[in-house]
Structure 1
Amino acid sequence: MKRWGRPVALAGAMAWGALLHGAVAAAPALTPCRLDGIEHEARCGTLERPLDPAAPQGARITLHYAVLPALARNKQPDPVFFLAGGPGQSAIEMAGPVAGMLSRFLNRRDVVLIDQRGTGRSAPLLCDDDADQAPLARQFEPDAQRRRLAECRRLLQALPHGDLRQYTTAIAAGDVEAVRRALGVARINLVGVSYGTRLALEVLRQSPRRVRRVVLDGVAPPDMVLPVAFASDQQRAVEAVFSGCEQDADCNRRHPDLRKRWATLRNSLPRDWPVAHPATGVVERQRVTPEVLDAVLRGPLYLPALAAALPQAMDQATRGRLEPLAGLAHAAGGRRGVGVAMGLHFSVVCAEDAPRLPPAAPREDPLVRRYRDACADWPRGSVPPAFYQVGPSAAPVLLLSGGLDPATPPRHGDRMAAALGAKARHVVVPQAGHGVAMLPCMRDVLYRFIDTPDEAAALAAVRADAGCAVQLPRPRPYQPPAPPAEPRR
């Protein structure tokens, strides 16, 4: 689960007006706009949608979407639809990173970003977000978290669009289809990341004839049961940190018996600990529990470059200094484009995952318990039974997994590739974390998979093209710089 997020202001641009033409660009509802991180002009549009699809004459919401237009005059007719993660991220707020990842497509294909209902400007379900500056106790103590979430739920339900049952993945997939129709295109290509892969699978299920190609990066299947999977998959990622250090002679020498010392630290908790706040520098007394340690580890595990510093930070924690760990967590949480609308997050998880939680156990994982508590009072939308069933795909599907991913590791991709059938290809990058498509050489893999006209040729080239990423080495464990030598006298 990502940290609490605030919306990033949208902006609009003025540069490519003479190049805007064709089915997407000519849609009358699109107007010039400037997006954060995008140098050139984009086109933004809105679409009125019923809040409750079963009551089309009732309350309505405004769905926001943006088109990054292709440069070529003779562009391809099938745009790329990008579906963001979370659940709760705004696709439009991620325009800059997405444009970099899909830059080759922008020569001949439009890229469409939809703020899923409940995110960005599309009837946002935003909770109070002062996490960067808030006291540590407010961020981590379970009672404080429960109070904040209960207050958030109360405020959201008072909004005109506050029926929290109307924000499921199945309803969001209907919104995607509505945008396709509004843009006047016959077929689309889907690129989903993290939770966006769940949405992509539902779009594929609902509108199979309208989907040409699918890329699923960090596969989060509909039957995943997010809290349970997050807990077990994170523990595997932590074990990989220990194993990586033990297999590196220098790391093992500098941090001997790290696995054992970390277990000793966890067994000594809970206890009060003075910790310097990573944002304010103010020393606070924090009640540290195993759940707090897990929460602090979660962010750095997503990025191997940050995870490489975990042995050093965990070693320092066993010696009484939590600041290095807190600093890594702050760095991971400060990445652009990871803000999450927590009202949407819980609306999705409580409707789709919470009903499938196993019976509560006396020694339940704290993360599972947190979701169970949160969902006990959260309004739950209706989920069709077919939502959980993934069958063979008529469209080619490329699945991508990072071997070090703490949230969507390869086991989920393996299962979905088998379910999707003969037109599915699963690529595992052993030393990658959460998100494989952003790796430089993988951008070409995505491009060739979608751009190659012949399906068989596109599928056959995937494994050979992905060799550049599969062979990437793991980042070496971080070693702090040696102190400067004493000057000679």
Structure 2
Amino acid sequence: MLLPPRPAHFPSRTPWSAGLATVLALALATAAPVAAGKARAAEPPYEARLAPYYGQHLDWHPCGKPAPHATAPQPTAARATAAAREGGFVCATVRVPLDYADPSGAEVPLAVARKPATGPGGRLGSLLLNPGGPGGSAVDFLTGYAGAHYPEAVRARYDLVGVDPRGVGHSAPVRCLDGPAMDRWAATDLTPDDAAETAALRRSFHGFADACRSRTGKLLGHVSTAEAARDLDIVRAVLGERRLDYVGASYGTYLGAMYADLFPRRVGRMVLDGAMDPSIGSRRLSLEEAAGFETAFRAFLRDCARREDCPLPATEAAANHTLAAFLAALDRTPLRTDDGKRRLTEAQATTGIIAALYTEAAWPALRQALGEASGSGKDGTTLLSMSDAYYERGANGHYSPLMAANAAVNCLDAPPAFTGPAAVRAALPDFEKASPVFGRALAWTALNCADWPHPATGTPHRVTAPGAPPIVVVGTTRDPATPYRWARSLAAQLTSGHLLTYDGDGHTAFNRGSTCVDTTLTTYLLTGAPPTPRTTCH
């Protein structure tokens, strides 16, 4: 599984997280719509029973204000709402069927936000954005970041559109544990040492799944990526677009690839940045992701060794030993923090470290956090705040629905990596070889879908999208969360795939500071010309 939250959504509560939120956002990536009738005349036919959805009319209104009929969900995060009001964003609701096998039944409201093209130059259409997750809010990403900071040439020619997939963000979000229960869940030991600790971890996963079932209801069985991809086609149609122009980051690449495979001739210009590989199963995905975080951690160590404030030994072996000893000590005795009710556990420290590996710009914060936690003061406050930001925990103790949606989507998309503790124990040597630091925790985390209330509806498969125009797949050579090999694999699977390589660190490449990457992708989005074969940027 992909590690749950995409750090691009870190709330800004402390100086380090404010800066990291901006950097990680960089790592990810109203004009009236064209008449719907014109678009439908040019596109392939859809099922007649879906006609009411494809033909619906949208009531656009300024984001952050009541909808004309009080039916459209609004961005609830203060930062997103304020940005939407100030930035000229408009919002609407798109209705989609809960169950495509029974489209006359219940419906799901999807939250949509749009930032009109600014000009100069002719409008090219709507460019849909997805920041990843699964569970990341595209609405918040658009209104809180992309609407102002995406490449100027792209903003000039496209209406930027954020659509929260079903069960995510503001689109009937999946609900599971409340704040105090999430605090306990996030602190649960992910490296059990005996039968009692293993049973406690299994109870934690089961309790999470049971809470999702009881609080979310029927929707929990209908939040798969395949269904979300079909929703995107309805959104495309009601926006008045003949083809879907799309930029997806991280999990957003899986959503985009699924759309391309379902509707290849409705694909427009598509960028899949920080690509997932749809052909591999959950266990291999988790194992290769562990290796990806190990690669990123080694890059951090090489940089750390050159810094005066590095709290770890200069050699990799010694640094691994020191960090393992630090985490083992936390397993025995959690550290004090400025939070009067919570202490830093091993699980939260591991999460905080992983969070900082998503981008090299967060490495100074990681050095600081490790120094504070392992120094004479033994203060776990900064590492805890990094873990909180990763899980989108607010200062008031409330969590966003990101983690809930992440589990719900992942557990439907593919059979579980492991069905029980015995299978995890058997796989531990492979995981520890892939990552001496993170392997054990990531192996046990992959047990989270074993007790899910709904069986998986998807299976790993190759995605080819025959007949689609050029699709650009972007891979970063030292990406921690989506290893470079996944981008190479996806580009090879797609009949029209074009691989763009970024030789660098961090998660994803577009809009992160590489002039080569940004120029190549902006040219593609504006003209349709993909990069030449074997293009590598630095």
Range into which the TM-score falls when normalised by the shorter chain: 0.7 to 0.9
**Counterpart of 1:485?**
none
Which residue number in structure 2 is paired with residue 260 of structure 1?
A: 318
Deviation per residue, 1:324-351 (Å, 9 max, x gap) = 7615725853889995533321122122
8 Å CA contact 1:347–1:381 kept in 2: the answer is no
- The yes-or-no answer on 1:222 pairing with 2:278 is yes
Following TM superposition, by how much is the alpha carbon of 1:76 offset from its aligned partner in structure 2, in angstroms? 3.4
Mapped contact 2:114–2:159 kept (Cα < 8 A): yes
Matched, 1:342 2:403: yes
Match of 2:93 among 35, 43, 46: 46
Out of 98, 107, 112, which is 2:156 matched to?
107
Structure 2 matches for 1:22-33, cutoff 5 A? Answer: 22-23=34-35, 28-33=57-62
| 2:336 equivalent to 1:272 | no
Which residues of structure 2 form unaligned runs of 5+? 12-29, 39-55, 65-79, 191-196, 429-439
Letter in 1 for 2:490: M
Cα distance in 2 for partners of 1:4, 1:343 equals 13
Task: Give the superposition deviation at 1:214.
Answer: 1.3
Using the TM superposition, give the Cα deviation of residue 371 of structure 1 relative to its aligned residue in structure 2, in angstroms.
2.9
Q: What is the SS of the residue equivalent to 2:531?
A: helix
> How many Å apart are 1:56 and its aligned residue?
1.6
Give the 3-state SS of the residue equivalent to 1:104 in structure 2.
Answer: helix
Return the TM-score normalized by structure 2: 0.71
Distance 1:23 1:66, change over 3 A: farther
CA 1:149 to 1:356, structure 2 compared with 1: closer, same or farther past 3 Å? closer
For the pair 1:378 / 2:430, whether they are aligned, the reply is: no
CA distance in 2: counterparts of 1:125 and 1:97, whole angstroms: 24
Aligned to 2:135: 88
CA distances 1:358-399 after superposition (whole Å, capped 9, x unpaired) = 9533463332323324432331242266x5444667322222
Q: Percent identity?
A: 24
Q: Give the corresponding residue for 1:409.
A: 483
Identify if the C-alpha distance between structure 1 residues 136 and 165 changes in structure 2 by more than 3 Å, giving closer, same or farther.
Answer: closer
Single out whichever of 196-205 and 313-322 deviates more from structure 2: 313-322
Matched letter for residue 65 of structure 1? V
Cα pair distance change 1:363/1:73, threshold 3 Å: closer
Q: CA–CA distance in 1 between the matches of 2:509 and 2:304?
A: 23
Letter in 1 for 2:531: L
Decide which moves more: 395-404 or 59-68: 395-404
Cα contact 1:47–1:63 (8 A) shared by 2? yes
State the Cα distance separating 1:166 from its structure 2 match: 1.1
Q: What is the TM-score with the length of structure 1 in the denominator?
A: 0.77
Q: Distance in 2 between matches of 1:187 and 1:319?
A: 56
Query: Matches of 1:341 and 1:332 in 2, distance apart?
Result: 11
Which whole-Å deviations, capped at 9, do the CAs of 1:138-176 have from their partners, x for residues lacking one?
A: 634357776565455444434575342211111110000
Shift of residue 195, structure 1, vs aligned partner: 0.3
Q: Is the 8 A contact 1:272 1:285 kept in 2?
A: no
Residues 394 and 423, structure 1, Cα contact 8 Å, conserved in 2: no
Closer/same/farther in 2, CA of residues 50 and 223 from structure 1, 3 Å limit: same
Cα deviation, 1:188-237, whole Å, max 9, x if unaligned, reads 21100110000000011111111122111111222343433332221222
How far apart are 1:445 and its partner, in Å? Answer: 3.3
Kindly indicate whether the alpha-carbon contact (under 8 Å) linking 1:164 and 1:347 is maintained by their aligned counterparts in 2.
Answer: yes
Moved more, 210-219 or 95-104: 95-104
Q: Give the whole-Å Cα distance in 2 for the aligned partners of 1:147 and 1:296.
A: 23
**Cα 1:369–1:423 shift into 2, 3 Å:** closer
Aligned length: 445
Paired with 2:321 and 2:451, the residues of 1 have a C-alpha distance of 32
Residue matched to 1:130: 179
CA distance in structure 2 between the aligned counterparts of 1:451 and 1:4, rounded to whole angstroms? 27
Which whole-Å deviations, capped at 9, do the CAs of 1:116-147 have from their partners, x for residues lacking one? 0001221210334638x976786343577765
Q: Distance in 2 between matches of 1:308 and 1:400?
A: 26
Asked if 1:451 corresponds to 2:509, the answer is: no
Is residue 141 from structure 1 mapped to residue 189 from structure 2 by the alignment? yes
Structure 1 match to 2:73: none
**What displacement does 1:450 show?**
0.9
Q: Deviations over 1:89-113 (max 9, x none)?
A: 1110111212222543232221221
Moved more, 172-181 or 369-378: 369-378
The structure 2 residue matched to 1:282, chosen from 315, 325, 340, is: 340
Distance (whole Å) between structure 2 residues aligned to residue 234 and residue 159 of structure 1: 33
Amino acid at match of 1:76: R
The 2-side partners of 1:62 and 1:361 are apart by 42
Would the alpha carbon gap of residues 23 and 427 (structure 1) be closer, same or farther in structure 2, given more than 3 Å must change? Answer: farther
Alignment match, 2:508: 435
Post-superposition Cα deviations, 1:65-101, rounded to whole Å, max 9, x if no partner, equal: 1222223497435321112311111110111212222
Distance 1:250 1:73 in 2: 48
* Runs of at least 5 residues in structure 1 that lack an aligned partner in the other structure: 9-16, 471-489
What's 1:329 paired with? Answer: 386
Paired position in structure 2 for 1:476: none
Query: CA–CA distance in 2 between the matches of 1:234 and 1:445?
Result: 27
What secondary structure is seen at the aligned counterpart in 2 of 1:191? strand
- Of the three residues 432, 443, 447, the one matched with 1:368 is 443
Once residues 254 and 6 of structure 2 are traced to their aligned partners in structure 1, the CA distance between those partners, rounded to angstroms, is 21
User: Do structure 1's residue 244 and structure 2's residue 306 form an aligned pair?
Assistant: no
Amino acid paired to 2:502: V
1:415 match: secondary structure:
helix
Following the alignment from structure 2 to structure 1, what is the Cα–Cα distance between the partners of residues 168 and 302? 38
Which of 163, 166, 171 pairs up with 1:117?
166
Whole-angstrom distance in 2 between the partners of 1:287 and 1:461: 47
Q: How far is 1:28 from its partner? A: 3.9
Note the aligned Cα RMSD (angstroms): 3.9
Classify the secondary structure of the residue corresponding to 2:523: helix
Structure 2 CA distance, aligned partners of 1:439 and 1:336?
25
